[in-house]
Amino acid sequence: MLRVLLVNDTEKPIGELRMALSVQGYDILAEVATPHALLAAVEGQRPDVVIIDTESPSRDTLEQLAVMNTHAPRPVVMFTQDADQQLIRAAVGAGVTAYVVDGLAPAKLAPIIEAALARFAEESRLRQRLAEVEQKLSDRKLIDRAKGLLMDKRQMSEAAAYDTLRSQAMKQGAKLADIAKQIIAMADLLG
Amino acid sequence: MSFSSSHASPWLAGSDAPEKTQLKLGFVPLTDCAPVVVAKMRDFGRRHGIEIELCRQPSWAAVRDKLLSGEIDAAHTLYGLVYGVQLGIGGPQADMAVLMTLSQNGQAITLSNQLAASLRGVGNLRQALECEPRKPVFAQTFPTGTHALWLYYWLAAQDVHPLKEVRSVVIPPPQMSDALARGELDGFCAGEPWHAVAEARKVGQTVVSSSEIWPDHPEKVLACRRDFAALYPNSARALTMAVLEACQWLESVEHRREAAAWLSTDSITGAPVDLIAPRLLGDYGGSPLRQPPRPLRFFADGAVNFPYLSDGLWFLSQYRRWGLLREAQDLAGIAAAVNQTALYREAASALGIPVPEQATRSSVLIDGLSWQGEAAEAYADGFAIRAAD
């Protein structure tokens, strides 16, 4: 039975994988939330797999263990274009990283990664969508401000101001929001 | 928005324009990430045709993974990390490139108050550690990184075997103070402002600056994957030029004060400016240091920035010394492939910054041994304290 350690030290609730993994028959060790506890758990309880938020600051603690202790889990190499690495790449996309002991067959890791994906991939997609919406909103604001500046300083109509921005963007091969930023910066500079 | 023609880059003409103009630059929140922050804040990329986006990273492992996956193009990173990845020590292997050195000095070792007092009392570290009730625990920041190697060198120079007589762990630097306060650590080696934070919280004392271990040692580098430098040579050169100008800008005291304010913002370190500015300006206050530290240097007329082959080779020598690299390899060949001296020469020359004639330099370290920048294997063999074969 594979022994799995869940590191729950960021906003991403890695610990919530306990249920899903337990019912699949994995031996889930008591989860840890600090580098100190992580050290004690890896050295004292010898997990086969460690699941951790990709953005966790405690990852370097695991890196040290991987170098100093041949029995400690090592980072999964995830950058080959190999088809059977797709799962690992999906995990990276969902912000989940696995460390596994040397010699563990990739097939054995797959169900664990799948459980992590089921829990976190959707959330990560939602977050990305939210970020895109926020970006669009802030772009909108910039463009409106630049339009306002052109209308105010150049007495342009709103349509003419928008056309000016658009043709500049096309000429420079830049995004509309970037042109808007330039105009705002210029206006700030010139007062 | 002014374009100073006297400084316009000749590389912008024709086919020398950057192949990729939007560059994502990773950094770890530390005082010595100043060059990349300044390059961004002062927009030094603009006149070289690039736009820099800063991407803060929570760990060195994340810096490595994102460099390898292409999520970031280049990064402010530990010198040793680049060579660790080049050799595949403890993780993935990839061909790496050092574009330039970003900084020298500016790191330190802080001990718990108890161990610092004991060291003052008995006068030598070995005896002080023998009084400890448990195997002493020292923390650093990454297994192949600079802090691991400064710590190991310093311990060994005092006749303490870093792999046998202490427990060496990694703790995220922002958590070092708490770990000291809770008695989980006896000391740590890391960058600033984390030593200043520990002293301000009165949980430890800085007893040695890294410049005492190796005066003007190389510390952080600007690194990327080797294939990035090969595919986008103009972008790599433009980035090197922009960051070199940032290093130059950091020479003045006024500019460093300005940079300290940027570094303290929440999007960079989030540490109080009072804890960043003094040591960035070379003031170590009342720390019980044996020697006044040499300043954190970013430029020194380019002397800091040239990617000396001997600097890269030193890290390889220490991996041999500590058994992190088990087989003998062509160490000099590896350093020559990683450190992009030709690209650096082009970048520095275009800016009128002097480039050293020799690609090696020599130094004398804390144990009195001199490093001549060659014969790394023999140098590694020459240490009395090293990993067992």
In this structure, how many other beta carbons lie within 10 angstroms of the beta carbon of residue A41?
19
Confidence of residue A91 (pLDDT cuts 50, 70, 90): confident
CA B282, chain centre distance (Å): 17
Kindly provide the b/e burial profile for residues B345-358, where b requires at least 16 CB atoms within 10 angstroms of the residue's own CB: ebbbebbebebeee
What confidence score (pLDDT) does residue B3 get?
Answer: 40
A62 vs A75, higher pLDDT: A62
CB contact under 8 A, B61 and A63: yes
- Residue pair B179/A100 in contact (Cβ under 8 Å)? The answer is no
Q: What is the pLDDT confidence band of residue A129, given thresholds at 50, 70 and 90? A: confident
Q: Do B1 and A185 touch (CB under 8 A)?
A: yes
Average pLDDT over residues A18-47: 95
Domain ranges for chain B, please list them.
Answer: 5-105+218-381, 108-213
Q: What's the pLDDT at B6?
A: 43
- Suggest the residue from A63, A74, A86 to mutate for an interface test with chain B (most B CBs closer than 10 A): A63
pLDDT number for residue B4: 41
Do the beta carbons of residue B279 and residue B108 sit within 8 Å?
A: no
Q: What is the mean pLDDT of residues A91-102?
A: 87
pLDDT > 90 fraction of chain B, expressed in percent and rounded: 90
Distances (CA, A) of B31 to B43, B159, B271: 19, 31, 10
Does B91 sit within 8 Å of A59, measured CB to CB?
A: no
- Report the distance separating Cα A83 and Cα A110, nearest Å: 13
Q: Across the interface, do A56 and B141 touch by the CB < 8 Å criterion?
A: no
What is the pLDDT at residue A82?
Answer: 55
Q: How many angstroms away from the CA of B345 is the closest CA of chain A?
A: 32
What is the band of B7 on the pLDDT scale with cuts at 50, 70, 90? very low
Q: Where are the domains of chain A?
A: 3-127, 128-190
Using pLDDT thresholds of 50, 70 and 90, give the confidence band for residue A103: confident
Nearest by CB to A39, which of B68, B169, B324?
B169
| CATH number for the segment(s) B108-213 | 3.40.190.10
Q: What is the tally of helices (H) and strands (E) in chain A?
A: 7, 5
Contact status of A56 with chain B (Cβ, < 8 Å): yes
Rounded to the nearest 5°, which phi and psi values hold at B183? 75, 15
- Is B60 close to A63, i.e. CB distance below 8 A? yes
State yes or no: pLDDT of B251 exceeds 90: yes
Which of B1, B140, B182 lies closest to A189 in CB terms?
A: B1
| Residue A92 confidence (pLDDT) | 77
Q: Does the beta carbon of B68 lie under 8 angstroms from any beta carbon of chain A?
A: yes
Q: State both tokens at A76.
A: 């999964």
Alpha carbon distances (Å) from A62 to A163, B211, B381: 55, 28, 29
Q: Answer yes or no: same fold for B5-105+218-381 and B108-213.
A: yes
Number of A/B CB contacts below 8 angstroms equals: 89
Please give the full DSSP string across B114-152, using - where no structure is assigned.
Answer: HHHHHHHHHSSHHHHHHTSSS--EEEES-TTSHHHHHHH
Considering only CB atoms, which chain A residues are within 8 Å of B69?
Answer: 78-79, 92
| pTM listed for this prediction | 0.87
Closest residue in B to A184 (Cα) is: B1
Domain A3-127 has CATH 3.40.50: no
B354 CB near a chain A CB, below 8 Å? no
Q: Are A31 and A8 in contact (CB under 8 A)?
A: yes
User: Which chain A residues contact residue B324 at CB under 8 A?
Assistant: 67
Q: Which of B195, B181, B205, B200 is nearest to B115 (CA)?
A: B205
Question: Which fold would CATH assign to domain A128-190?
Answer: Arc Repressor Mutant, subunit A (1.10.10)
| Confidence class for position B292, pLDDT limits 50, 70, 90 | confident
Q: Would you place residue A131 in the very low, low, confident or very high pLDDT band (cuts 50, 70, 90)?
A: confident
Predicted confidence (pLDDT) per residue in B217-243, tens digit: 999 999 999 999 999 999 999 999 999
The yes-or-no verdict on residue A77 having pLDDT over 90 is no
Q: The domain B5-105+218-381: what is its CATH number?
A: 3.40.190.10
The pLDDT-based confidence of A1 (bands split at 50, 70, 90) is confident
User: Is it the case that residue A83 has pLDDT exceeding 60?
Assistant: no
Tell me if B100 sits within 8 A of B344, measured CB to CB: yes
Position A185 confidence tier, pLDDT thresholds 50, 70, 90: confident
